[in-house]
Structure 1
Amino acid sequence: MPMPAGTGSVAHALFVSKDRRIPKIRIQTRQLENLLDKRIVVAVDSWDCLSRYPSGHYVRTIGEIGDRDTETEVVLIENDINSRAFSSQILACLPPLPWSVSSEDLSNPIRQDLRHLCVFSVDPPGCKDIDDALHCTPLPNGNFEVGVHIADVTNFVHPGTPLDDEAAQRGTSVYLVERRIDMLPKPLTEDICSLRADVERLAFSVIWEMTPEAEIILTKHTKSVIKSRAALSYIEAQARMDDSRLMDPVTTDLRNMNSLAKIMRLRRIQRGALTLASAEVKFQIDTETHDPLDIGMYQIREANQMVEEFMLAANVSVAEQILKHFPVCSLLRRHPTPTREMLEPLLRTAAAIGLNLDVSSSKALADSLDHAVGDDPYFNKLIRILATRCMTQAVYFCSGDLSPPEYLHYGLASPLYTHFTSPIRRYADVIVHRLLAASLGIYKLPTIFQDRPQLTSIADNLNYRHRNAQMASRASVELHTVIYFRKRPTDTEARIVKIRSNGFIVFVPKYGIEGPVYLTQKGDKGGGEWFVDEQEQKIKKMDGSVSYSVLQAVMVHLEIVEPQPNRPKLQLSLI
């Protein structure tokens, strides 16, 4: 937002950045009228040592401040996300549409014809980029044949092509509240690679023979052709499993899969896998205006957990296979063990409410979290959210860069892990598909895998892109939260998750929102009449008349305020 300070046709203005950490920037412009109340991009040119502000120049206008599309564009720029349309060179790499499985594909000796299997997919509602599908067939010996079928993206994305270079650079698809920024062009993500119902598609399959106790007896990896019988949403899959009148093949297979998944999940938890929680917010979006109509926390169903269990198992199975063949150039994913210092905030909070958490191992922590149940239904979820906050992010790495003990994925309690199940939306999985194909002798390993420094830099870029995508998703949620509450000031219940010197941070379970509640106003000297008891994790009035403690329920008022022009934010205040 420029402030004019000049005469004549060239105006001198101060540009105020959206990011508070950046100083105001002097610019000169002939079109000041057009820039007021706009989000603009400014480049810094120099900073005179005698000047309070750096000097820069206007680059381009993004749009009106406060407009949803403008603010979404700002989120993308701030998180270095490439949302440009795919170039003609990239699109030239795609097979022509309409595409279908050819007779060459079917007669190819590397590919198994699995079109006879009852394959189905289970995804979030409205999902078009379907990466994965499943099957579960009872065998004559009482065991089950279970398959995870993943879109065969590398059949279409070849190393060293403009399409591959672009995907490698983007690293991941980015999911905002109202739109998706694809890693690969739409013809691939929504049609050619998407494992939609009733069409033949190419897949990369992991197939196990499992006992009814979910013990794996045999594992096979193969390229395949499948034909999905049903593309279900989590809600539909759950409704089918729950409806005892339904006995059709898909529903029966779903139930069998679910009973295997429950055993697998239990076993994973017994090994010490953590069931962590995050505050995932879901918006219901108006199809016409794209404005949020409703907001709430994301519901996890048994069907979600069933799919997750088999995806985890496929990822572990593929990690073992590629590492066995390529010990120094496999792309894996690890989650470092948190240090005692990192877990300190969680331990302090727990101790204050008389909860003893054992953090000596992931198993000990998982068990402690399971026992942390109070009368409050949100209590356990809150403790898990706090535990998640103490962890570092899981990261991609090249197997040759670390020693095997460091490969551990702490959260999943798995000594080995990778990403194989989402190649439509993650480039890491594309790399892993190439490793897997080479390990089976289907293709030669691309030359890049001989170049360790290059692989390390690919892993670094993937970590950077992955993190930016998460930050952009969160910023998009914050933007839509502001839009939603702008016309809807609300009173609701919240839980205190952290005590601060001037108030506390609360979590609002109904909306999955978190924010500060201030007890003292800015400018109060020495926190006014409040003091913090670190030991008990309480903030108290000096006279002892009122106190607030961690995990306590409070009523808060939510409304949008603009403390500074054009910086609207959600304010939470105590009722």
Structure 2
Amino acid sequence: MNIEKKLLEIIKEEELIQKEIIKRFGKITNEEKKEVRKTLKDLYKKDVVYKDQKNRYHIKTEHKVVGTIEFTRRGTMAFVTGKSGEEVAITIENAGNAMHGDRVLIEKIGKWRDLDSGKVVKILKRGTKTLVGQVQKKKSTCFVIPIESKINSDFYIPKKYEKNVKNGQIVKIEVIKYKTKVKNPEAKVIEILGNENEPKIDLPIVLAKHDLPEPKKFKENVMNEARSIPNKIIKKDLKGRKDFRNDLIFTIDGDTAKDFDDAVGIKKLDNGNYELGVHIADVSNYVKENKPLDLEAYRRGTSVYLIDTVIPMLPHELSDWICSLVENEERLTMSLIMEINKNGDIVSSNIYNGVIKSKKRLTYKKVNLILNNEADEKLEKEIGWLRPQFELMKELMEILRENRKKRGSILDIESGEIYFEFDEKGFVKDIIPVERGISEVIIEEFMIKANEVIASYFFDKELPFIYRVHANPDPQLLIQLKNYLDIIGVKVDLPNKITSNVLQEILNNTKNHPLSKSIQKLLVRTMKRAIYSDENIGHFGLGSSAYTHFTSPIRRYPDLIVHRMLKKYIKNNYKLTKEDIEKYRKILPEIAEQSSKNERNANEAEWDLYDMKKAEYMQSHLSEEFEVFITGITKFGFFVEIPEKMINGLVHVSELKDDYYNYREKDNMLIGEKTKRILKVGDKLKVKAVKVNKLKAEIDFIPILEKKLNKPKKNRKNKKSKKRR
């Protein structure tokens, strides 16, 4: 019996739930029922069929796309990306009653710019169940206006669900009725978070907005399992492990770090090569598959770092202690030992179940002071004895970095990391950019190399695996980058096939340009997000043919999966069994998708909190003059950035009082009708902040335009060509 063919015939004939579909097969064995469920699941994953809100199955036709609808920041446009990666644009009038985050079925109806356009024909699953907003009371009526601007509906709160809220308060609500063509959605207040201008409210807002758990809060069954784990290594754990306890191994992390999941050791061999050991905490020894700890780690996907608050993936009993490579404590590891030659190539490598005893907990700051010869007497006494190790590490780092540069890896992109300084009341006092030192680069290079080596074990043998992949840049955004570089006088030839070498060359050629930071930011925007995938397409940014995440299993779920696979790989003589191959081919796509989704949510939560704190800083700096660069042009104005504070905001076109400005989309410019003044990406000007909405993290500036005009250059070539015509 061809189960797939029969399934599609049944679904085509009638829309049914899984149980009803199985009944249509008549009398079949339990094994056959199991096969039907598996085939149905596979068809769903392949996007051949989809489910509606009542879990009934439908066949997807060629002109229909199923995906999550994502509205733009202003809620005026939406996009849906199907499983195949195709993107469809949805104008607001074609979005129907769909809300940001809903899973929808759309039908293609035409074109919008270079994309297909579509309309929502069915909402398959609601994505928003709870959200955060501000109370707005008018007489006896209560509404909540969402803080998330991507949700463009206000929520009516029936009297019995108001919970004695006051006008202006920030609350968390639960949707009880979704919007219709004629009615606003309805919700009930489930938590009063506080008042708008209190600094302490920002974190609860972000947690609620992104549906993140409370810091240090885990379910009881998860905590019970965590507490049952011994806080010392037990004898049976040492069986079959390679002993590195007498080797000179240490950790290097930030000043405030508590979870140390990577340690390193280095030697210079007699043949002139380097032996680099990268020892990673063996979390998989404690977090067992499908147990409460594992299921919770999968659900969270990653630790989330919200300024001075951490929402850990694992309870602190593991993350801060038994899985953390604490100084002078014996710890279980997955240990990768690599021999690297003077060109930065791997001569040989071995992966072991290991055990170490870290000799020192070091910080980036302290190691940088030693390497820069800026250490005081106290620091020299504390860690000066490790100077030869640091010098050797620096030597190898430079070799590895040069190796990456030659193969086309993109280097020297600034991290954009900042540090917030708070006053005694908890308000932001200052924002300070954080610069990376030598030791940060050393550890980054070592971890990149380790991740590549581990990925190569599985890729070379064509085994199932979870990769960290990075697709090629968006061609349209590359054209915008080229146009911008042309405008500022930087000539670049973009070949048909873009490699990371091309972008690295742009960075090299513009590093001394006065607009180098703007160029760098625009270049970063051309690149897509790195994600997890069971299919290896390489990592564009690193110029790597195979890459994974192996080095942080305390805080990232994919790394934990990689460790589990490595254990099976080692145990089975550097192969996987047929059963394991079948198992991982089945489960890895879902793990990759879930992990990518969780990572994106964590990133957006971090960015949201940062943006709120930046807006808070600007509230106390209204009407002050700032020098900014234009970072984006639209028909309604332009976006600017205060570079030393990394603060972004908008100058609305209505604030350009000196002229009426037209938007030239092709060249991405605003041009004054009378003055012919040009405003383009990369221009430097002065502005004042006049309005700040901290809840939405929106900052409005007004320009201080100088009298000197920036006129467009005459195109002589065009003049000549006209004469010839």
Q: Is TM more than 0.5 here?
A: yes
Deviates more, 1:506-515 or 1:155-164: 506-515
Aligned residue type for 1:363: N
Q: What's the CA shift string for 1:307-338, capped at 9, x where partnerless?
A: 1111010000000113345x352111111112
Is the contact made by 2:469 and 2:530 (CA closer than 8 Å) also made in structure 1?
yes
Is the contact made by 1:122 and 1:234 (CA closer than 8 Å) also made in structure 2?
yes
Pair 1:466 & 2:596 matched: no
Pair 1:518 & 2:648 matched: no
**Alignment correspondent of 2:270:** 140
SS at match of 1:187: helix
With over 3 angstroms needed to count, the CA separation of the structure-2 counterparts of 1:572 and 1:178, relative to structure 1, is farther
Deviates more, 1:66-75 or 1:180-189: 66-75
Return the alpha-carbon distance in structure 2 between the equivalents of residues 556 and 174 of structure 1.
Answer: 34
Q: What's the CA shift string for 1:249-278, capped at 9, x where partnerless?
A: 422111111111111111111111113636
Pair 1:571 & 2:571 matched: no
Deviates more, 1:47-56 or 1:332-341: 47-56
Picking from 362, 368, 375, the partner of 2:500 is: 362
Aligned residue type for 2:347: I
**Alignment correspondent of 2:527:** 391
Return the alpha-carbon distance in structure 1 between the equivalents of residues 157 and 663 of structure 2.
Answer: 46
**Alignment correspondent of 2:615:** 482
Q: Which has the higher contact order (CA 8 A, sep 6+)?
A: 1
Q: What's the CA shift string for 1:8-51, capped at 9, x where partnerless?
A: xxx44222222333312222225564343322233333468674
Aligned residue type for 2:244: L
Aligned residue type for 1:432: V
Return the alpha-carbon distance in structure 1 between the equivalents of residues 558 and 180 of structure 2.
Answer: 46
Picking from 392, 401, 406, the partner of 1:265 is: 401
Return the alpha-carbon distance in structure 2 between the equivalents of residues 284 and 2 of structure 1.
Answer: 29
Q: Give the number of aligned pairs.
A: 555
With over 3 angstroms needed to count, the CA separation of the structure-2 counterparts of 1:207 and 1:291, relative to structure 1, is farther
Return the alpha-carbon distance in structure 1 between the equivalents of residues 237 and 184 of structure 2.
Answer: 63
SS at match of 1:396: strand
Pair 1:344 & 2:479 matched: yes
Following superposition of structure 1 onto structure 2, how do residues 165-314 of structure 1 map, counting pairs within 5 Å? 165-243=295-373, 248-275=384-411, 277=413, 280-286=416-422, 290-314=426-450
Q: What's the CA shift string for 1:335-381, capped at 9, x where partnerless?
A: 111242232221221111122334432212211221124442xx223
Return the alpha-carbon distance in structure 1 between the equivalents of residues 194 and 581 of structure 2.
Answer: 42
Return the alpha-carbon distance in structure 1 between the equivalents of residues 517 and 511 of structure 2.
Answer: 9
Q: CA deviation at 1:53?
A: 2.1
Aligned residue type for 1:509: P
Pair 1:415 & 2:545 matched: yes
Is the contact made by 1:45 and 1:55 (CA closer than 8 Å) also made in structure 2?
yes
**Alignment correspondent of 2:672:** 541
**Alignment correspondent of 1:402:** none
Pair 1:494 & 2:494 matched: no
Following superposition of structure 1 onto structure 2, how do residues 76-91 of structure 1 map, counting pairs within 5 Å? 76-83=207-214, 85-91=217-223
Q: CA deviation at 1:2?
A: 4.1
With over 3 angstroms needed to count, the CA separation of the structure-2 counterparts of 1:453 and 1:471, relative to structure 1, is same
**Alignment correspondent of 2:488:** 353
Is the contact made by 2:303 and 2:556 (CA closer than 8 Å) also made in structure 1?
yes
With over 3 angstroms needed to count, the CA separation of the structure-2 counterparts of 1:449 and 1:75, relative to structure 1, is farther
**Alignment correspondent of 1:329:** 464
**Alignment correspondent of 2:509:** 371
SS at match of 2:654: coil
Is the contact made by 1:205 and 1:221 (CA closer than 8 Å) also made in structure 2?
yes
Aligned residue type for 1:41: K
With over 3 angstroms needed to count, the CA separation of the structure-2 counterparts of 1:438 and 1:323, relative to structure 1, is farther
Aligned residue type for 1:574: P
Is the contact made by 1:330 and 1:398 (CA closer than 8 Å) also made in structure 2?
yes
Aligned residue type for 2:642: V
**Alignment correspondent of 2:234:** 102
SS at match of 1:484: helix
Deviates more, 1:143-152 or 1:19-28: 19-28
With over 3 angstroms needed to count, the CA separation of the structure-2 counterparts of 1:279 and 1:260, relative to structure 1, is closer
Return the alpha-carbon distance in structure 1 between the equivalents of residues 567 and 511 of structure 2.
Answer: 46
Q: CA deviation at 1:92?
A: 2.1
Which structure has the bigger radius of gyration? 2
Q: CA deviation at 1:216?
A: 2.2
With over 3 angstroms needed to count, the CA separation of the structure-2 counterparts of 1:334 and 1:229, relative to structure 1, is same
SS at match of 2:609: helix
Give unmatched runs, 5+ long, in structure 2: 1-133, 705-725
Return the alpha-carbon distance in structure 2 between the equivalents of residues 37 and 518 of structure 1.
Answer: 26
Return the alpha-carbon distance in structure 2 between the equivalents of residues 442 and 99 of structure 1.
Answer: 30
SS at match of 1:548: strand
**Alignment correspondent of 2:125:** none
Is the contact made by 1:38 and 1:62 (CA closer than 8 Å) also made in structure 2?
yes
Deviates more, 1:87-96 or 1:294-303: 87-96
Return the alpha-carbon distance in structure 2 between the equivalents of residues 283 and 305 of structure 1.
Answer: 19
SS at match of 1:196: coil
Q: CA deviation at 1:279?
A: 6.0
Return the alpha-carbon distance in structure 1 between the equivalents of residues 324 and 220 of structure 2.
Answer: 22
Return the alpha-carbon distance in structure 1 between the equivalents of residues 427 and 340 of structure 2.
Answer: 47
Pair 1:93 & 2:225 matched: yes
Aligned residue type for 2:585: R
TM-score by length of 1: 0.88
Return the alpha-carbon distance in structure 2 between the equivalents of residues 335 and 203 of structure 1.
Answer: 28
**Alignment correspondent of 2:18:** none
Q: CA deviation at 1:153?
A: 0.7
**Alignment correspondent of 1:382:** 518
Deviates more, 1:379-388 or 1:422-431: 379-388
SS at match of 1:419: coil
TM-score by length of 2: 0.71
Deviates more, 1:467-476 or 1:545-554: 545-554
Q: CA deviation at 1:427?
A: 0.2
Percent same amino acid at aligned positions? Answer: 27
Is the contact made by 1:322 and 1:435 (CA closer than 8 Å) also made in structure 2?
no
